[in-house]
């Protein structure tokens, strides 16, 4: 098992170097010179040339990329073009809000999605199942940024119950959590349902029933345990996707997280921030995926055995 984990961590390194390359390349091909963004349109050509020199922007592409990686490993992503504060600090300041939002979203999705999926599978082809399946399809399809707007229209404009924006008090957490969690909730529900249906048809379930065990024991001890293996994976992957999807939700609810900061940095052409922010989310996403893989192998011996 330890060998498997080590192997997966080692496999991560080339992927991360590749991600850094993509992020670096994107900032590199962006039209417009960073020195001009920092100094403003009125700056003299000499000043710009000097700053370019200082920032190493005149070096060849590969040298710049090498410097970027070396500095990044040390935690140095340069300074924000706008505020001149270190990118690392700026990005890290906002990250907790994004993590909190994604975490609340995934908790909502799991707490509602898994029970609904179980009931739906156990009561297959009943009105409850059809209703849940339909709601699941709607939930998968609804764009989360539109859902956020609809929530604001309903709870703020019509009912005047909740504040439209902000993220300080628990009352302000309600709408963003629903907006970001609904898609994942529907996906987890559908996954739980189909996975439960597969398990319920297995021979060992028939055996358990034939032994005369109570239906609740059959469902929860025998079927659910196996059914949750793929669901765990999906929930983990969804958490990663929520980190990325937070960009839109944060923009709508004016949440001071990494996502909305990324958007405002893009619009202000502050590509030092964009580079650092995208990289941080990508690294978190990759680490979450790795954790999911390891967890998957941990709870499913069939996968573990392939790495011996």
What gap in Å lies between CA 273 and CA 262, rounded to an integer? 7
Which pair of tokens denotes residue 61? Answer: 């592409």
What gap in Å lies between CA 52 and CA 166, rounded to an integer? 39
By the rule CB under 8 A, 117 interacts with other proteins: no
120 neighbors 197 (Cβ within 8 angstroms): no
By the rule CB under 8 A, 97 interacts with other proteins: no
What gap in Å lies between CA 247 and CA 267, rounded to an integer? 14
Compute the least distance from the CB of residue 304 to other proteins, in Å.
10
Compute the least distance from the CB of residue 266 to other proteins, in Å.
4
Helices and strands, counts by H and E, the chain: 14, 0
Nearer to other proteins, 248 or 255 (CB): 248
Count of residues that bind other proteins according to CB under 8 A: 63
Contacts (CB under 8 A) with other proteins, residues 269-308? 271, 274, 278, 281-282, 285-286, 289, 293, 302-303, 306-307
Contacts (CB under 8 A) with other proteins, residues 193-212? 194, 197-198, 201-203
Where does the chain have alpha helices with state H? 2-29, 34-39, 45-55, 61-73, 87-122, 127-141, 144-151, 170-200, 203-210, 215-217, 225-253, 258-267, 271-299, 301-304
Nearer to other proteins, 42 or 302 (CB): 302
Mutual angle of helices 87-122 and 127-141, in 10-degree steps: 160
By the rule CB under 8 A, 267 interacts with other proteins: yes
By the rule CB under 8 A, 137 interacts with other proteins: yes
By the rule CB under 8 A, 64 interacts with other proteins: no
Which pair of tokens denotes residue 95? Answer: 């990250």
By the rule CB under 8 A, 57 interacts with other proteins: no
Contact letters (x/-) for other proteins, 140-179, by CB under 8 A?
A: xxxx-xx--xx-xx--xx------x---------------
First-last CA distance in the chain = 8
What gap in Å lies between CA 185 and CA 106, rounded to an integer? 8
By the rule CB under 8 A, 23 interacts with other proteins: yes
Q: Name which position in 26, 49, 70, 217 contacts other proteins (CB under 8 A).
A: 26
Nearer to other proteins, 70 or 137 (CB): 137
Q: Name which position in 243, 253, 255, 261 contacts other proteins (CB under 8 A).
A: 243
Compute the least distance from the CB of residue 139 to other proteins, in Å.
10
By the rule CB under 8 A, 254 interacts with other proteins: no
What gap in Å lies between CA 244 and CA 75, rounded to an integer? 22
Query: Residue holding tokens 């710049």?
Result: 64
258 neighbors 222 (Cβ within 8 angstroms): no
Query: Residue holding tokens 């034939």?
Result: 210
Closest CA to 233 of 182, 293, 166: 293
What is the contact surface with other proteins in residues (CB under 8 A)?
8, 11, 14-16, 18-19, 21-23, 26-27, 29-31, 134, 137-138, 140-143, 145-146, 149-150, 152-153, 156-157, 164, 194, 197-198, 201-203, 240-241, 243-245, 247-248, 251-252, 262-263, 266-267, 271, 274, 278, 281-282, 285-286, 289, 293, 302-303, 306-307
């Amino acid at each position: 098992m330890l060998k498997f984990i080590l192997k997966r961590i080692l496999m991560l390194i080339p992927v991360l170097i590749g991600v850094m390359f993509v992020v670096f390349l994107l900032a590199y091909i962006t039209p417009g010179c960073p020195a001009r963004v920092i100094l403003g349109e009125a700056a003299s050509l000499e000043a710009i040339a000097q700053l370019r020199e200082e920032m190493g922007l005149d070096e060849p592409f590969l040298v710049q990329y090498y410097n970027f990686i070396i500095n990044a490993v040390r935690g140095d992503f340069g300074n924000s073009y706008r505020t001149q504060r270190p990118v690392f600090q700026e990005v890290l300041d906002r990250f907790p809000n994004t993590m909190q939002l994604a975490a609340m979203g995934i908790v909502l999705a799991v707490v509602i999605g898994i029970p609904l999926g179980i009931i739906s599978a156990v009561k297959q082809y009943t009105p409850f199942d059809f209703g849940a399946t339909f709601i699941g399809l709607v939930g998968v399809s609804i764009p989360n940024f539109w859902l956020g707007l609809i929530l604001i229209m309903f709870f703020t404009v019509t009912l005047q119950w909740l504040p439209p924006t902000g993220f300080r008090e628990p009352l302000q957490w309600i709408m963003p959590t629903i907006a970001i969690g609904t898609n994942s909730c529907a996906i987890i529900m559908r996954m739980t349902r189909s996975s439960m249906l597969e398990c319920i048809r297995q021979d060992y379930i028939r055996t358990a029933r034939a032994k005369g065990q109570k239906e609740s024991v059959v469902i929860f001890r025998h079927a659910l345990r196996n059914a949750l293996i793929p669901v765990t994976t999906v929930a983990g992957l969804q958490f990663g996707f929520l980190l990325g999807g937070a960009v839109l939700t944060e923009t709508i609810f004016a949440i001071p997280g990494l996502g909305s900061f990324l958007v405002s940095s893009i619009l202000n052409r502050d590509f030092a921030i964009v580079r650092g922010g995208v990289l941080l989310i990508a690294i978190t996403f990759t680490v979450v995926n790795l954790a999911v893989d390891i967890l998957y192998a941990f709870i499913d011996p069939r996968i573990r055995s392939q790495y011996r």
